[in-house]
Amino acid sequence: KLTTVEEFEAATERLLETGAKVGADSWQLRVKNQTPHCKFGESGVCCRICSMGPCRITKKAPRGICGCDVHGIVGRNYLRFTAGGSATHSDHGREIAHTLHEAAADGNYKVKDPEKLLRLAAEFGVETEGRDIYDVAHEVAEAGLMEYGKPFGYQVFTKRAPEHTQEIWDREEIRPRAIDREVSCALHMTHMGCSSKPEALIRQSLRAGLSDGWGGSMMGTEFSDVLFGTPREVETEANLGVMVAENVNIVVHGHDPSLSEMICEYADSKEMIDYAKSMGAQGITVSGVCCTSNEVAMRRGIPMAGNFLQQENVVLTGACEAIVVDVQCIFPALGPLSKCFHTKFITTSPVAQMPDSDFIRFNAKTAGENAKQIVKMAIENFKNRKPELVHIPDMKQKAVVGYSVEQIEKKLDGVTNTHVDETGTMMPLVDCVKAGVLRGAVAMVGCNNPKVRPDAAHIELMKKLIANDIILVVSGCSAQAAAKAGLMDKRAKDLCGAGLKRVCELVDIPPVLHMGSCVDISRMMVLAARIAKDSGWNISQIPLVGCAPEWMSEKAVSIGNYVVGTGIDTYLGVEPYAYGSEEVDGLLKGGLTDWVEACYTVEHDIDKLGDMMIERIEEKRTALGI
């Protein structure tokens, strides 16, 4: 039985009552203060990139002081938004590359997937014959780091795309060069007095996005797999009920697995568990919020306490000894909120420093000591709990996660099919699509956003799609919504149409496949490329669409741009700040098809959004003659 959004909301209400008792603020209250939002900002027509402004475009004032029209302003804002996202994902990838560079046989970080490392070495042209695996790791890390600033050439991973896609990228001049160059170029183009032509700005938005998806994010994923292991099927649980009242609860939040992996490692040590017992607890429970939770769930089965808009809830349980964060999507609200409870709010990255937190600077060289210090702090904080404030909602679901491309491939190898002699092929999947047993697939990703009823859009769309024999690959906070609802339990097959149900039984998978964190949307790109190569279809011909019904971050826009830029139509439930310009809006919602064979659709009515995706998938089937 699925957990309903109504049940999520009732649990949250109960936690907010605790919040009210201790005078805590919450996003639910802050949304009220911020509504209605500024229409100039929302439609993208406000420019503040030079100090002659800010200028905002109205009927009476159709141009800024420099003469820039609404299309230039909206286009520039859109490109800056993308650059922010691309920089963020890619810098995460860079951090992981540095961690790989620090890996050593006797160090804090080791190589857990040498096979993948060797494959990457081949792609980067790194010699492997007779060499120590750590020498190879360091050279691969260096080659990866060079991708950020190399003066000539394009992103190495773009060669993973099918020929046709690469031809489009070259024809449209959007094949990404050095990652940092695309971000810098975006900032340069949007400086006062540079580009104001929508086509140029949107083209660079695609290229900056592609430098993320086929560059920085892809390196983040691949190097994380080398260091921490490529995810394989693993059982876990999701929702606040994974926290255990009798235990020391440590919640990891953010994105970089270098921190969360190390915390998990130490929290699981006998020394720390004994210490926790000596302090009156029965043990230690590590659970996660947001993407770092996805990372450790995918590799270790660490339970997921919740997604983006649930981050305050973990503190409101009164049973969180420490919420340990690294970078991205962390509410600054956690500082003051943790002060209302005994919770330690521990920041660890120079990139994400916040008031009202304990800052323990974490780095690859001292990671072990740092993690130990953090786990100890949490344990020692157990005695400070206020028992009258403790309430953990009794709500969780089982989930099976860990569907990397490698795992999907293995699952397909295990199925008796007409390609029984071949392994490592996506053909069994393609055959199911051709036969119509599976109508197609949706890649559902992205955040929560109070502009949409949180989690409801993800869950309702997933239910509708699986009932229509459409399989889902999901990541980020969308994946956590699915897991909390129970859609990653293999028994969710009973909610599917007959075709998808059969596939779930044969392949032994849930109908909603967790592919990881947001940087792991790069896995979806690799999967799409593999399907295209094996089937002979172009990526844009595959009955596959992307969807981010509750997106909110700059990263999400960067993702949207590389997903569309790769030829996959993308459906959004929240408007990007672009509708103030017909030209920019028109490009995003249609014009891009002429360039990259895909574009955006935005629809606020979630049920309609679902119908539109199903319709598009059926159109693609018809075009293929299947």
249 or 448: CB nearest ligand BF8? 448
Find out whether 352 and 331 touch, Cβ atoms under 8 Å. Answer: no
Three-state SS at 378: helix
Q: Does 560 bind ligand BF8 (CB under 6 A)?
A: no
Q: What angle do CA 600, 606, 611 make, to 5 degrees?
A: 75
DSSP 33-86: HHPSPPHHHHHT-EE-SSTT--EE--SS--S-TT---HHHHHHHHHHHHHHHHH
Give the interface size with ligand SF4 as a residue count (CB under 6 A).
Answer: 14
DSSP 506-556: HHT--SEEE--SSTTHHHHHHHHHHHHHHH---GGGSSEEEEETT--SHHH
As given in the structure block, the two tokens for residue 64 are 């800024």
Member of 291, 378, 412, 487 binding ligand BF8 (CB under 6 A):
291
570-572/544-548 β-pairing = parallel
Member of 25, 53, 98, 415 binding ligand SF4 (CB under 6 A):
53
Determine if residue 320 is labeled as part of a ligand binding site: no
Determine if residue 38 is labeled as part of a ligand binding site: yes
Determine if residue 50 is labeled as part of a ligand binding site: yes
Q: Residue 291 binds what, of ligand SF4, ligand BF8, none (CB under 5 to 8 Å, by partner type)? A: ligand BF8
Which DSSP state fits 579? T
> Residue 51: is it exposed, middle or buried by C-beta count within 10 angstroms (0-12/13-18/19+)?
exposed
75 or 549: CB nearest ligand BF8? 549
Nearest CA to 318 among 268, 382, 258, 397? 382
Determine if residue 432 is labeled as part of a ligand binding site: no
Q: Does 201 bind ligand SF4 (CB under 6 A)?
A: no
Q: Among 18-26, 53-61, 540-548, 553-561, which window interacts with ligand SF4 (CB under 6 A)?
A: 53-61
* Of residues 295-354, those binding ligand SF4 (CB under 6 A): none
65 or 623: CB nearest ligand SF4? 65
27 or 40: CB nearest ligand SF4? 40
As given in the structure block, the two tokens for residue 307 are 């997604």
In sequence order, what E strands does 49-205 have?
55-56
d(CA 186, CA 615): 35
As given in the structure block, the two tokens for residue 553 are 């971050």
Residue window 460-489: x/- pattern of binding to ligand BF8, with contact defined by CB under 6 A: ----------------xx------------
Determine if residue 290 is labeled as part of a ligand binding site: no
| Count of alpha carbons within 13 angstroms of residue 293, beta-carbon side | 37
220 or 318: CB nearest ligand BF8? 220
Member of 20, 29, 38, 65 binding ligand SF4 (CB under 6 A):
65
Shortest approach of ligand BF8 to residue 598 CB, angstroms?
A: 21
Q: Does 64 bind ligand SF4 (CB under 6 A)?
A: yes
Q: Does 187 bind ligand SF4 (CB under 6 A)?
A: no
* CA 246, chain centre distance (Å): 32
As given in the structure block, the two tokens for residue 547 are 């969807």
Q: How many residues does the chain have?
A: 626
CA distances from 421 to 332, 412, 424, 428, 614 (A): 54, 12, 10, 12, 34
Find out whether 466 and 439 touch, Cβ atoms under 8 Å. Answer: no
Q: Residue 510 binds what, of ligand BF8, ligand SF4, none (CB under 5 to 8 Å, by partner type)? A: none
SS3 content of the chain, % helix, strand, coil (to 5): 55, 10, 35
322-325/344-347 β-pairing = parallel
Determine if residue 518 is labeled as part of a ligand binding site: yes
Q: Does 290 bind ligand BF8 (CB under 6 A)?
A: yes
Shortest approach of ligand BF8 to residue 192 CB, angstroms?
A: 29
Q: Does 578 bind ligand SF4 (CB under 6 A)?
A: no
Shortest approach of ligand SF4 to residue 46 CB, angstroms?
A: 9
73 or 399: CB nearest ligand SF4? 73
Q: Residue 192 binds what, of ligand SF4, ligand BF8, none (CB under 5 to 8 Å, by partner type)? A: ligand SF4
> Under the rule (CB under 6 A), what is the footprint of ligand BF8?
255, 290-291, 308, 329, 446-447, 476-477, 517-518, 553, 555-556
Binding residues for [Ni-4Fe-4S] cluster: 255, 291, 329, 447, 477, 518
Question: Which residue positions form the known binding site for [4Fe-4S] cluster?
Answer: 38, 46-47, 50, 55, 66
Note the residues at the interface with ligand SF4 (CB under 6 A): 47-50, 52-55, 64-66, 68, 73, 192
